[in-house]
A and B are shown apart, each in its own frame.
Chain A
Amino acid sequence: MKIGLKILVFLAFSWGSLDAQTIIPGWFENLPDAPAGNMYAVGYSGKYINQSIARQAAIKKALHNMVKQQRTRLVFEIEEYSDGRLRLLNPSLELSYDESILNRIEATYATIDSSITYDGYFILISLNSLQRAPRVPSDDTGWDENKPKWTTSLPKSKNFNYGVGIVSNYSSWVRAWNDADEYARFDLGKNIKIDAHSIHAIERDNKYIIESKILQQSYDENIEGAIIVSRWYDAENDTYYSLCRQKKL
């Protein structure tokens, strides 16, 4: 009876940990540098009954990621109003890209590596086919136990711009990574340039100080060569981190 209970507890815990996405290909966590003139992109999909459908979904995701890496138009706006009692926050994020780039990539891309884990299907593609097979770590690994430094401090570099995306409490890890990646792209855009306006007013009487504020920040930019180079999953807090990098022009 006791042994049965132990097995049940073990299964429950192992099921939970597998569900929390513990096994991933190394290149999903840290994207290797592609050979000069080429570019890598990662695609992923969740659980599918049919493996070929999972692969198709992962390839589709990788192709769209490749297009976004090439050139994306990002329109960002955030407004915050507060009058001491009420506080309203209204962020708006729009991402768009040229479909013709997608058609071009579909004709030239090559698969570098792929992996099936308990959670889903992962695929690594390159922009153009490579003459020699690249050295890409193909082993599946677990997430780094130590929190990477970039999750709290933005990397400093003369050659690259960076942005970080953070999301939490998602029921689907595919959506969570998708949103963390997009937030990282928008964060990179904000770190390059942003239009900022604000009005602050402070009203004092004998009892209270009321601070009213209208804050507006926005940008509308075409971002080229912004790549998600690192990801990290904080299993303890169920939080997803993505790091986006762009070579400075």
Chain B
Amino acid sequence: MKKLIIIALMIPLALMLVNCGGKPKAKMNDIPEWYLNPPKAEDAFYEAGDAAKQSMSLAKESADARARDAIARTLEVKVSNMLKNFMQQSGMGDDAEALEFTSSVSKQVANTVLRGVQIVKREMKTEGSQYHAYSLAEYNLNSLIQETVNEAKKQKALYNEAKANLSFDDLEGEIQKLEAVGN
């Protein structure tokens, strides 16, 4: 009888402990390797995103959007660094106009239409009653170079204010050399 009472008391306690954990967490073994360590390539860069939702399709949409957003943010930093390097090499890195040009182009490239960002890998896991989606976005470096050149050309007036005697070919040539951007 005593045993029965102990068991009867243990069951609600066990259930309480189970429910105290909040939302179920993903098991480490379940997390895709490419999410923890996104691949590296010379001609592309990768960013991962994830989302846990009650609906599978919502989890997928959200994880995809976050992976794409991560690409857009990385892109802004990369373009900004790339232009800053070019400006400094041209001896005009500290000019206010040069900084404005750099900031404006990099922001526009990041906020502009992302062509060719693809969700190349996707995995769906279940965690209790939720679906946990993992997405890996890939962006081709050639697309980045093209977008930057296009945007820089659009903002030619600003560039000319920054440095009238530098040719646009110099900037274009410098951007084309950016194989290292994806690393």
B132 at the interface (CB under 8 A from A): no
Interface size on A, residues (CB 8 A): 31
B37-55 interface code vs A (CB 8 A; 1 in, 0 out):
0000000000000000100
- Report Cα–Cα, A237/B124, bound state, in Å: 11
Q: Which of B7-15, B18-26, B115-123 contacts A (4 or more CB under 8 A)?
A: B115-123
Interface size on B, residues (CB 8 A): 32
| Complex contacts, B116 vs chain A, CB 8 Å | 191-193
- Establish whether residues A152 and B56, one from each chain, have CB atoms under 8 Å apart when the complex forms: no
Nearest A residue (CB) for B64: A190
Contact A154 B61, CB 8 Å, known A192-B115, A215-B69, A217-B68 = no
Q: Which of A78, A192, A193, A197 interacts with B61 by CB under 8 Å? A: A78
A182-213 interface code vs B (CB 8 A; 1 in, 0 out):
01000100111111111010000000000000
Q: Which of B57, B115, B120 interacts with A183 by CB under 8 Å? A: B57
A153 at the interface (CB under 8 A from B): yes
| Complex contacts, B114 vs chain A, CB 8 Å | 193-196
- Establish whether residues B65 and A217, one from each chain, have CB atoms under 8 Å apart when the complex forms: yes
- Establish whether residues B57 and A179, one from each chain, have CB atoms under 8 Å apart when the complex forms: yes
- Report Cα–Cα, A217/B118, bound state, in Å: 14
- Establish whether residues A168 and B56, one from each chain, have CB atoms under 8 Å apart when the complex forms: yes
A131 at the interface (CB under 8 A from B): no
A91 at the interface (CB under 8 A from B): yes
B58 at the interface (CB under 8 A from A): yes
Q: CB within 8 Å of A: which of B69-120? A: 69, 71-73, 110-120
- Establish whether residues A196 and B56, one from each chain, have CB atoms under 8 Å apart when the complex forms: no
- Establish whether residues A191 and B113, one from each chain, have CB atoms under 8 Å apart when the complex forms: no
- Establish whether residues A78 and B56, one from each chain, have CB atoms under 8 Å apart when the complex forms: no
| Complex contacts, B126 vs chain A, CB 8 Å | 237
Q: Which of B64, B71, B73, B115 interacts with A193 by CB under 8 Å? A: B115
| Complex contacts, A91 vs chain B, CB 8 Å | 58, 61
B148 at the interface (CB under 8 A from A): no
| Complex contacts, B123 vs chain A, CB 8 Å | 152
B131 at the interface (CB under 8 A from A): yes
- Report Cα–Cα, A152/B33, bound state, in Å: 13
| Complex contacts, A21 vs chain B, CB 8 Å | none
A-B contact pairs, 10 of them (CB 8 A): A80-B65, A166-B122, A166-B124, A168-B57, A187-B119, A194-B68, A196-B71, A197-B111, A198-B69, A219-B113
A164 at the interface (CB under 8 A from B): yes
Report the minimal beta-carbon distance from B151 to chain A, rounded to whole angstroms. Answer: 14
Report the minimal beta-carbon distance from B71 to chain A, rounded to whole angstroms. Answer: 8
